[in-house]
């Protein structure tokens, strides 16, 4: 189980780092989008601060996953991001669903594996 945890943590870390670095340095071409997904994407870009904030969170959590430090904190910080990535791909862009599902389920798996660190949050 320890090997699986390290593998999942490393893969998610690499994905998060790649996506955030690609965003900041414009390494990937813009995907052609249409309909509701395009409207949603334009709204995100128009907000100016939101995409850089999300990509910074992804970068920091990806570095945390790769280094193995502060993973418990990173699991909680990246959970809303991975949930939104899953919902966006489920409802608006079905092509990205497999990768989004892997990141979300991997995040849930890591929370399960580090559950002993979260137990104190639920004590009255």
Structure tokens at 6: 């390290």
The predicted-structure confidence for 60-108, as pLDDT tens digits, reads as follows 999 999 999 999 999 999 999 999 999 999 998 898 999 999 999 999 9
DSSP of 35-84, one letter per residue? Answer: HHHHHHHHHHHHTSSHHHHHHHHHHHHHHHHHHTSSHHHHHHHHHHHHHH
pLDDT band per the 50, 70, 90 thresholds, residue 40: confident
Q: Please count the other Cβ atoms lying within 10 Å of the Cβ belonging to residue 60.
A: 18
Is 86 in contact with 54 (CB distance < 8 Å)?
no
- DSSP annotation of 91: H
For the cut 90, the answer to whether the pLDDT of residue 32 exceeds it is no
Q: Report how far residue 72's alpha carbon sits from residue 20's, in angstroms, rounded to the nearest whole number.
A: 20
Q: What is the pTM of this model?
A: 0.91
Q: For the chain, what is the mean pLDDT?
A: 93
Q: Which residues touch 84 (CB under 8 Å, ≥6 apart)?
A: none
- Max Cα distance, the chain (Å): 50
């Amino acid at each position: 189980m320890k090997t699986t945890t390290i593998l999942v943590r490393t893969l998610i870390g690499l994905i998060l780092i790649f996506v955030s670095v690609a965003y900041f340095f414009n390494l990937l071409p813009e995907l052609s989008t249409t309909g509701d997904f395009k409207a949603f994407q334009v709204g995100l870009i128009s907000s100016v601060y939101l995409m850089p904030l999300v990509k910074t969170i992804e970068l920091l959590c990806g570095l945390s996953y790769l280094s193995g430090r502060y993973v418990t904190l990173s699991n909680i910080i990246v959970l809303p991001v991975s949930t939104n990535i899953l919902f966006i791909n489920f409802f608006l862009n079905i092509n990205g669903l497999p990768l989004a599902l892997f990141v979300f389920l991997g995040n849930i798996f890591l929370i399960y594996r580090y559950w002993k660190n979260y137990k104190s949050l639920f004590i009255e």
